[in-house]
Chains A and B, each alone.
Chain A
Amino acid sequence: MKKFLNKPESFVDEMLEGIYRAHPDVTYTADDLRCYVTAKPVEGKVGIVTGGGSGHLPTFLGFVGKNMLDGCGVGGVFQSPSADQLAEVTRYVDQGAGVLFLYGNYTGDIMNFDMAGELVELDDIETATVVGNDDVASSVVGEEHKRRGVAGIFFLYKAAGAAAAQMKPLAEVARIAEKAKTRTRTMGVALSPCIVPEVGKPGFEIGENEMEIGMGIHGEPGISRKALAPADAVVDEMMERIFAETDYAKGDEVAILVNGLGGTPKEELYIIYRRLGQLMDEKGVKIRHVWLGEFATSMEMAGFSISVLHLDDELEPLIAAEADTPFFQHFAR
C-alpha cells in the first residue's frame, strides 16, 4: 500500500479535521467529528440528512451546503455510521419542519437510518426516507429495490435540496426525491481495485487487460469481466443497459453525470462523454445539464460511471437551481 497518511486507523478523523479547517461553512455536532453538519442551518426548512462510509469523496459529505444537504453521518472506510451518530446529526439539522433521510441502498446504512428515525421520534422529530438505488448492474428490472445506490444519488441530492430550499414541506421534498430516484439510472466500469487503508492491500484482483462492467463502489463484483475494449465500445455496452430501461421520445431532456472513481484522468472522462453525446444525438435526446469529474469515488479505483436522469418539467428547474457546498458549486444560468 502506498498512500499519504499517518496511521491507517486515523485516516477518517484526520481527513475530517482537514475538511473542517479548510471549509468554515461546515462543522460537527455532538462533539463527534463524524457528525458532519452545515454551519448555517435555515430556520423552518426541511433538513436533509445523508450518510454512509468514507472512501467515496465527494460523496457523501461533500454535498452538505447551500441548496443541497444539511448533514451527514460519516462512517469508517466503507462502513456505515452508527444510528446514534445519525440521530445526533438529525437533531442538529431539524429546524421544525422535519428531516428527510436520503442515502444509498446498503444494508448497514438502512438498518442504522431506520434506527435513527426511531431514536429521534423520542424528540418528536418527523422523518421521511428515500433510498437511492440507481445502479442498473446490481439487479434486474422488477427487482429495483435490490439495486445499490451509487453516483446517481447526486441528482437526488440536487433535486431534493432545491425543493427543500424552496421551503416545500417534508412530504413534498420526499416525493420529489422519490421521483428523481425512479428516473435515474447508473452503469459503472472498473479497471483496477481500491485499497482500504486499514486492510492495506487491494480488495480484489483484475488482469492488466481486463475490465469489470457493473462493478460496485466497494469493489463488489459486476455483471461481466472481459477484455478491455476501445472507449466507444465500452460506452455503447453500458448505455445499451440504460437505454433498455428508459422510454425516450425525440426531444426528451436528460441530465448526465460522468463520474470518475478516483483513479481516472479527466481527459478520459471527456472521451467517454464524446461518445455519450453521439448516442444521445442519435436518439434525438437533448443533454440539458452535464457534470463531469469525481462525484462518487472508490478511493484510487480506475474506472468511471455514467448516470442519466430523465428530466421532466418539474425536475429540470430543480436540477438547474444554484448550489454551493465545499465540494460542489453550481451557478444558475
Chain B
Amino acid sequence: MKSIEPALVIGLFDRFASRFEAERDALIALDGKVGDSDLGLTMSKAFVAARDRVHELEQPSLGDLMKHAGAAISKAAPSTMGTLMATGFMRGGKALSEASVLDISGLAAFWRAYADGVAQRGKAQLGDKTVLDVLDPIAQAYEAQNTDGADLAIAGQVAARAAAEALEATKQMVAQHGKAAAFQEKTVGLQDAGGTVACMLAEELGLFLNEQALS
C-alpha cells in the first residue's frame, strides 16, 4: 500500500481517542511518580476532542484535518503536553498542506515538522528526557523509509518499534524540564511520561496503517 485518502485518515483519530481513554489511569500513575498526575486526564480529553472535531469537518484536506485536530487539542487541553501535542499536529498539518493523499513522504514531513515544532515550543533538546526523545526517532524512522520507498504498513511497524526502543532509552536519561526536573536523579530508571504518549501515537499509527493495508 502506497497511500491513503484523507477521508479514511479520520479513522486514525478514533484509534487515538480510544487508546488514550483506555490508558488514562496508566498515564496518571506514570505521571504521578514525578509530575502532577494530570497527563492521563489531559491526553484523554485532548484526543476525544480531536476525534470529535475531525468528524465534523466536511471533506477536509489532509493538512486541514491535522491542523483542526491540533486546534481542538489546544482548546480541550491547555496544559503543557496538550499545547505541545496541539503544536505538533498543527505544524505537521502545515507540512501536509500540499498533500492530496497520505503517503510515506508525507508521513516523513509530518513527523519532522511535529518534532521540530515541539522542540521549538517546549525549548527542549534531545537527551533532556522529554517527548522529543521519542518524537525525533519516529521522524527519523519515517524519513529513512521514505528514502527507501518503503510500503506504508511496513513503515508504520518499523516506526512503532523505533518509538518503543526510544522510550526504553529515556529510562537512562535525567529529566531537565517541568516538575520532573526537580527530582533529577530520581527520574533515572523511569520512562518519560511524555515519551510514552508519543510512543502510543506511533503504535496506533502503525496499527492503523496495517489495518488500511488489509482492508
Q: Specify which of A84, A107, A118 is in contact with B78 (CB 8 Å cutoff).
A: A84
Task: List the A side residues contacting B75 at CB < 8 Å.
Answer: 84
Classify chain B's interface size: 10 to 19
Are A122 and B83 closer than 8 Å at their CB atoms?
no
Are B78 and A114 closer than 8 Å at their CB atoms?
no
| B87 is an interface residue with CB less than 8 A from chain A | yes
Task: List the A side residues contacting B202 at CB < 8 Å.
Answer: none
Within 82-122 of A, Cβ neighbours of B (below 8 Å) are at 82-84, 107, 111-112, 114-115, 118-119, 122
Q: A112-B83, A119-B71, A122-B67 are in contact. Are A82 and B121 (CB under 8 A)?
A: no
Task: List the B side residues contacting A115 at CB < 8 Å.
Answer: 74, 83, 86-87, 121
Please measure, in the bound complex, the distance between the C-alpha atom of A167 and the C-alpha atom of B86, giving whole angstroms. Answer: 34
Q: A83-B83, A111-B83, A112-B83 are in contact. Are A119 and B74 (CB under 8 A)?
A: yes
CB distance from B156 to the nearest CB of A (A): 27
Number of interface residues of A (CB under 8 A): 11
Please measure, in the bound complex, the distance between the C-alpha atom of A13 and the C-alpha atom of B97, giving whole angstroms. Answer: 40
Task: List the A side residues contacting B51 at CB < 8 Å.
Answer: none
Within 67-84 of B, Cβ neighbours of A (below 8 Å) are at 67-68, 70-71, 74-75, 78, 83
21 residue pairs bridging A and B, Cβ less than 8 Å apart: A82-B78, A83-B74, A83-B78, A83-B86, A84-B74, A84-B75, A84-B78, A111-B83, A111-B122, A114-B121, A115-B83, A115-B86, A115-B87, A118-B70, A118-B87, A118-B91, A119-B74, A119-B90, A122-B64, A122-B67, A122-B71
Apart from A83-B74, A115-B74, A118-B91, what 9 extra A-B contacts exist at CB < 8 Å? A83-B78, A83-B86, A112-B78, A115-B83, A115-B87, A115-B121, A118-B90, A119-B71, A122-B64
B residues near A (Cβ < 8 Å) are 64, 67-68, 70-71, 74-75, 78, 83, 86-87, 90-91, 121-123
A residues near B (Cβ < 8 Å) are 82-84, 107, 111-112, 114-115, 118-119, 122
A-B pairs, top 5 by smallest CB distance, nearest first, are A82-B78, A84-B75, A118-B90, A83-B74, A119-B71
